[in-house]
Amino acid sequence: MLISNTILNKYISYLFFLIPISLVSGPFLSDAIISILAIFFIYILFKEKEIYYLKDIKVILFLIFCIFLTLRAIFSVNVMESITPSIFYFRFGLFVLATVYLINRIPNFEKNFTKFLLYTIIFVSVDAYIQIIFGFNLFGMKILISDRISGLFGDEYVLGSYLVRLFPLLIALMIDKINLNFKNILIFIISISLFNLLIFFTAERTAFLLNLIFLILLTMIIKKVRKILITTLLISFVLMGISVKLDNGLYERMIKQTYNEVYHDKKVRIFTEGHQSHIESALKMFKDNKLFGYGVKNYRVVCRDSKYFEKITSCSTHPHNSFAQLLAETGLFGFSFVFFIFLYICKDLFFFFLNSFGEKKIDEKKAIISILIFINLFPFSPSGSFFNNWLSIIYFLPLGFYINKFKR
């Protein structure tokens, strides 16, 4: 018995709504969901003959990027490390196309996804605050390190990274519906202040930096919340100041350790010594293979070579910076593809900023998602592996909402 498109679309949309909460469990479940969504779109492509999706220049460029990754993997130093993530990288693009399809075909899809996203963020945040107050969360998971909060993520310290990449998407999807009466302004200020404080309590310094950049850019570009956000930032910093006074462990990591690492030997540096060493070894690899790099996930293999392995911190699974990893593993060819996207987003943000001071109405949802893409690709911060499945899902999730539709 054949399932009608209406019923299939309905169940597929429910599956999509589970992505935010599935990310809490790790990469397996969320990756399974986006893989099903990718297969679903291939089915739709042939059944409904939605070929115009494939004619868009963005899709064509992404397809070229995927073909390049696969060909490079075949000739990489360690084919087994590189081949699987390279061959199946296209699923993330299909996931984005499936998102665009569902937005345009399912009534209230975006509205319903926003509800699921909101409930997930509230649940994850409340659970984390329970862990802060009582020392263990709703599921009995205890604080393992005195100055680090991980909530539902257990011994994986990615709570801040998770929230700082999903919360902006929530704001983007809600911004047009926000009625700025006194009650809603108060809820907005309290919610954002508590969110900022929670990011601070995770003691994930990269997440804290990216959240700060997001809020500053949001204040600069979205005129209607400018004054509210300035007030919120001031309240947040007061709460953080009180927190470091009361929690010595938080002070040691977020203030003292950060200062010592940034201002070291009378020199200011962007990255910690360990991360700087990883990046330097990645740049050396790039110099030896400028055009095509060594292949996806081959940094971990090549960095063991004596000419890159100067000290123990020179080698890791990845260089802890997306652009350094792209240079080492994909060369100028792969790097240029992602760097072009980053420049395109910078251009968008520049014009959004200019237009925010004029009479011309800006697309606030697209502007906020542009800020989110900017912080996801921000080049001057440590990051996880660019080809990590969990991070890739988070990076690609907002893109369907950014594109929104394709021209027929």
| Per-residue pLDDT tens digits for 106-129 | 999 999 999 999 999 999 999 999
Q: How many domains does the chain have?
A: 2
**Residues 253, 291 share a domain:** no
Average per-residue pLDDT for the chain? 91
The pLDDT confidence band at residue 48, using thresholds 50, 70 and 90, is confident
Q: Domain end: 269, 304, 331, which one? A: 269
pLDDT at 131 over 50: yes
Range 191-195 average pLDDT: 96
pLDDT at 51 over 90: no
Range 358-371 average pLDDT: 91
- The reported pLDDT for the residue numbered 263 is 75
286 vs 303: CA distance, rounded Å: 11
Q: Residue 354 belongs to what H/E stretch? A: helix 322-355
81 vs 104: CA distance, rounded Å: 38
* Lowest mean pLDDT across 52-61, 231-240, 345-354: 52-61
| Per-residue pLDDT tens digits for 277-321 | 899 999 999 999 999 999 999 999 998 888 887 666 678 899 999
| Per-residue pLDDT tens digits for 58-105 | 999 999 999 999 999 999 999 999 999 999 999 999 999 999 999 999
**CA 114 to mean position of chain CA atoms:** 17
Domain assignment present for 376: yes
Is this structure's pTM higher than 0.85? yes
230 vs 209: CA distance, rounded Å: 17
56 vs 60: CA distance, rounded Å: 6
Domain assignment present for 287: yes
- The reported pLDDT for the residue numbered 3 is 54
pLDDT at 389 over 50: yes
CA angle 345, 351, 357 (to 5 degrees): 140
**Residues 300, 238 share a domain:** no
**Residues 163, 208 share a domain:** yes
pLDDT at 152 over 70: yes
Domain assignment present for 190: yes
Domain assignment present for 252: yes
112 vs 133: CA distance, rounded Å: 32
- The reported pLDDT for the residue numbered 407 is 67
Q: Domain end: 247, 269, 291, which one? A: 269
Q: Domain end: 223, 249, 269, which one? A: 269
Q: Identify whether the C-beta of residue 399 lies closer than 8 Å to the C-beta of residue 44.
A: no
Domain assignment present for 210: yes
- The reported pLDDT for the residue numbered 2 is 46
pLDDT at 385 over 90: yes
pLDDT at 347 over 80: yes
**Amino acid identity at 214:** F
Q: For residue 316, what are the domain limits?
A: 274-388+396-408
**Residues 236, 197 share a domain:** yes
Residues 65-69: contacts with CB under 8 Å, at least 24 apart: 65/334, 65/337, 66/90, 66/93, 68/292, 68/330, 68/333, 68/334, 69/296, 69/330, 69/334
- Return the number of other C-beta atoms located less than 10 Å from residue 213's C-beta: 17
Domain assignment present for 402: yes
What Rg, from alpha-carbon coordinates, does the chain have?
22
pLDDT at 1 over 60: no
Domain assignment present for 382: yes
140 vs 241: CA distance, rounded Å: 29
- Return the number of other C-beta atoms located less than 10 Å from residue 160's C-beta: 27
The residues, any chain, with a CB within 8 Å of residue 208's CB and separated by 6 or more, are 160, 199, 200, 202, 254
Domain assignment present for 77: no
**Residues of the chain above pLDDT 70, percent:** 96
Nearest-10 crossing angle of helices 389-396, 90-105: 30
The pLDDT confidence band at residue 247, using thresholds 50, 70 and 90, is confident
**Residues 408, 297 share a domain:** yes
**Residues 313, 198 share a domain:** no
**Residues 341, 243 share a domain:** no
Q: Identify whether the C-beta of residue 34 lies closer than 8 Å to the C-beta of residue 95.
A: yes
- The reported pLDDT for the residue numbered 261 is 79
Of 164, 168, 83, 110, the closest CA to residue 368 belongs to 168
- The reported pLDDT for the residue numbered 327 is 97
**Residues 285, 207 share a domain:** no
The pLDDT confidence band at residue 246, using thresholds 50, 70 and 90, is confident
- The reported pLDDT for the residue numbered 9 is 85
**Residues 284, 361 share a domain:** yes
290 vs 316: CA distance, rounded Å: 21
Of 388, 341, 390, 391, the closest CA to residue 369 belongs to 341
218 vs 233: CA distance, rounded Å: 12
317 vs 301: CA distance, rounded Å: 8
- The reported pLDDT for the residue numbered 257 is 84
**Residues 384, 291 share a domain:** yes
**Residues 282, 261 share a domain:** no
43 vs 45: CA distance, rounded Å: 5
135: left (phi over 0), alpha (psi -120 to 50) or beta: left
CA angle 97, 102, 104 (to 5 degrees): 100
**Residues 384, 347 share a domain:** yes
